[in-house]
Amino acid sequence: MSDNDRDLEGTPAERQPPHRVIGTPPPAPGILTDPERGDGEDGRKGTTPYGPGEAEAPELAELPAENPNPVSAKNWERVAAALFIISALASVAFIAAYVGLEIGGDTKGNVVVATMRSNMGLGSAMALAFLAIGIGMVIWVRNIMPPVELAEERHPMASPDEDRKAFAETIIEGAEASQITKRPLLRRTLIAATLPAALAPLVILRGLGPQPGGNLRTTVWKKGTRLLVYGTNQPITPADFDSPGGMITVVPEGYQENDEALTKATAIIIKMEPGQLQIPTRYNDGADGARTLLNSMNWTVDNIVAYSKICTHLGCPAALYEQTTQRILCPCHQSTFQANQGATVIFGPAPRPLPQLPITTNAQGYLVAQSDFQEPVGPSFWERG
């Protein structure tokens, strides 16, 4: 107990008689007063006990100059030296790999293979260089340096009372000399001056971007905008899309390469088996009493229905379609939408169905939008309403 006392300020030392397990030797002289330490069986650390008396180290202990086991130290020195030489060779190998292993435009073969070869050469040389030097250093400190273990005294963190008192006095003196406590006009106007100044950083950051306005409410789809197949950018007719159960990503014509537009406007079209499509007629009752149609069978063409691809949870593309169950799954957070029933949410965190894009065919028979989406697409936002 006495040599394991951790309640420094709470327990007086005299309440703790020294205990000793029967059969063990009495405490040996402490390390700080005994430079000839390392008197355990193997001379290793941890064999020299310290009593509380040694906690007050008046002087720094002298470190031993020699390892008590010179033969072992000599052997380990050879091992460490070998490792250091390996490290040096590995560093040279690193340079050789840099010079010798061609990548990118310099290489004739497969660029990925060449890159991997270079990475393998450089990386293994580097790893070997560092690991060898690290292992060598550990051998050095553990097996070549003489084992030591020192005890250093901890000083109380708290300052003596007189120091604290003096500190408090200094603070008071300064406050008095500054007059800030005695002159409320000075103090209050200073505070008044800093408050508006603190707003400046907020004001100046206003320039980071435009105000959102109604930007998030609409997309670029308009009456008559053709649906282009994403990737090929070709318009599509219902006859082209003749595989029931398929899903195609479509983008509005004219915006195929506009990421800002596509962030909201990307849609999917799904062709159902005849009779599968059962879109409920769904309205949104606005705050002003106006009714907005949100889903309708009249917005489909030839068993083809179009939905926003942008998940109503956090905006990932809801890209996975399971034909057998007619479910759309967003791979990000697994919101699941029932495609044949107006993309209603059947599992996951998405709060709303995927908005339906009203589609029809134009005079040439291509699929076109009847209008924009009838509600904001994508994630919830405060002004969505």
The residue (of 167 and 347) whose beta carbon lies closer to other proteins is 347
- Own/partner contacts of 241-246, CB < 8 Å, gap of 24 or more, are 241/269, 241/271, 241/304, 241/367, 242/271, 243/271, 244/271, 244/272, 244/273, 244/274, 244/303, 245/271, 245/272, 245/273, 245/323, 246/270, 246/271, 246/323
Residue 36 sits in the site that holds other proteins (CB under 8 A) = no
The residue from 130, 234, 283, 298 that contacts other proteins (CB under 8 A) is 130
Q: Is 98 in the site for other proteins (CB under 8 A)?
A: yes
Residue number with CB closer to other proteins (324 or 364): 324
The whole-angstrom separation of Cα 150 and Cα 146 is: 13
Q: How far is the CB of 361 from other proteins (least distance, A)?
A: 23
Q: Is 92 in the site for other proteins (CB under 8 A)?
A: no
Identify the residue among 93, 122, 294, 339 touching other proteins (CB under 8 A).
122
Does 108 sit near other proteins (CB under 8 A)? no
Given a contact cutoff of 8 angstroms between Cβ atoms, the answer to whether 56 and 153 are in contact is: yes
DSSP output for 6-47:
--TTTS-GGGS-----TTSPPPPPPSTT-SS---SSS--TT-
Task: Tell me which residues in 262-291 interact with other proteins (CB under 8 A).
Answer: 262-264, 266, 287
34 binds other proteins (CB under 8 A): no
Nearest distance in Å: CB 80, other proteins: 11
Phi and psi at residue 249, in whole multiples of 5°?
Answer: -85, 130
Spatial contact of 207 and 229, defined as CB atoms under 8 Å apart: no
Q: Is 21 near other proteins (CB under 8 A)?
A: yes
Interface residue with other proteins, options 79, 86, 89, 150 (CB under 8 A): 150
88 part of the interface to other proteins, by CB under 8 A: no
Q: How far apart are CA 66 and CA 102, in angstroms?
A: 50
Joined together, the tokens standing for residue 71 give: 């033969």
- Tokens, residue 49: 């006990």
Q: Which two tokens stand for residue 303?
A: 């068993």
Binding residues for other proteins, rule CB under 8 A, total 123
> Closest separation between CB of residue 66 and other proteins, Å?
6
Q: Within 13 Å of residue 343, how many CA atoms lie on the same side as its CB?
A: 31
The residue among 133 and 367 lying less far from other proteins, judged by its C-beta, is 133
Within 167-206, the residues that bind other proteins by CB under 8 A are 205-206
Backbone torsions φ then ψ of 327, nearest 5 degrees:
-110, 140
Binding mask 228-267 for other proteins (x = CB under 8 A): --x------------------x-x-----x-xx-xxx-x-
Q: Tell me, residue by residue from 291 to 330, as one string, x for binding to other proteins by CB under 8 A and - for no binding.
A: ------------------xx--xxxxx-xx----------
* 326-365 binders of other proteins (CB under 8 A): 331-336, 345, 347-352
CB 305, CB 272: distance < 8 Å:
yes
Indicate left, alpha or beta for 257 from its phi (over 0: left) and psi (-120 to 50: alpha): alpha
86 binds other proteins (CB under 8 A): no
Q: Binder to other proteins among 124, 237, 341, 360 (CB under 8 A)? A: 124
- Smallest distance from other proteins to CB 59, Å: 10
